[in-house]
Amino acid sequence: MVELNFDTTVADVISTYRAVVENVESDAASDAERAYGGVVRAKKGGMVEKMAAQMVSIAWNNLGKSRDDLKLSQEKVAIHLQEDYLNNLPPDVAADIRSNLQEYVYNCKVDLHLLVKDKFVLGIECKAFAENAMYKRILADFHLLKMQHPNLHCVLLQLESQLGGDYSDISKATITGSKSSRTLESYFPEAAPHVITLLKGERNVKKPIHKPEHYKELKPESVERAIKVLEGIFSRI
C-alpha cells in the first residue's frame, strides 16, 4: 500500500523508477511460481502508484499546505442503481430488484483517492502505459466517480503512452491528443482526465522499457512538469 511522504524529493521519484525498471527483468525471470508477464505488470503497476504518491506529496509540500489536511483513502465509492433504469425491465424483474434495491451497488475506485480535509478531491489512475481500450474504461470510472463527487479532479498518470497523437511528446506545452482518445472523451466530457506522460516516445510493444536495450531514462524535468500539474490542481481546491 502506498503512502504519502512529505519529505520526498524529485530524486526519490527517479530512484523509485530506476529501482524497479532496471531490475524487473531479473526479478520476473527468477520468480518460478508466477508467470513472467504477471510479475512485470504487477511491479510496474505498483511502481507508478508509488511514484504518483511521491509526486503528490512534493506538490502539496511545495504549496506550503498543512500536511495533516491531505490523506490517501482506500475507500471505494458506492455507485447506486438508477431507478429510472427499472422502467426498461420486465415488471417482475423490476419488482424483484426494487425489493432489494439497497443491495444493487457498484463499488468504484481508481488507483489513488486523495482527500483534502476528508473531502475526496483528486483521483489518479496509474498506468505503465495506456491505450484506448484502457482509456475507455478509465473515462467510465471517472464518470461514475464524478456522479457522486461532481467537483472531483481526475488525472491519468502513465509512464508511456499508447494513445496515439502527441501524448508522448512530453515537451509540448499544449497536448492536442489523438483522434480516438478525444472522440472517447466527447462522450464523457466531464470525466476527461488530465493526462500526464512521464517518458518521451510512443510505447512500442516490441521494445519494453524493462529490457536494458530499450530502457528509457526518467528525467528530472519530466517529474517536475508532472508536479507542476498537481500543484495547479491543488491550488484550485
* pLDDT recorded at residue 26: 65
* pLDDT recorded at residue 38: 59
Paired residues of 122 in beta bridges: 114, 153
Q: Report the side by side order of strands in the sheet with 112-116.
A: 70-73, 112-116, 119-130, 153-161, 194-197
Of 190, 118, 122, 117, the residue nearest 156 (C-alpha): 122
Where would I find the beta strands (DSSP E) of 46-116? Answer: 70-73, 77-80, 105-108, 112-116
How many angstroms separate the Cα of 114 from the Cα of each of 90, 135, 154, 207?
41, 21, 10, 34
In the chain, which stretches have pLDDT less than 70? 25-39, 41
* pLDDT recorded at residue 29: 57
* pLDDT recorded at residue 207: 95
CA gap 226, 14 in Å, rounded: 13
* pLDDT recorded at residue 128: 96
Q: Which residues of 44-74 are buried (b: 16+ CB within 10 A; e: fewer)?
A: bebbbbbbbbbbbbbbbbeeebeeeebeeee
What is the pTM (predicted TM-score) of this model? 0.92
Handedness of CA 85, 88, 94, 97 (dihedral sign): negative
CA gap 164, 97 in Å, rounded: 42
* pLDDT recorded at residue 102: 96
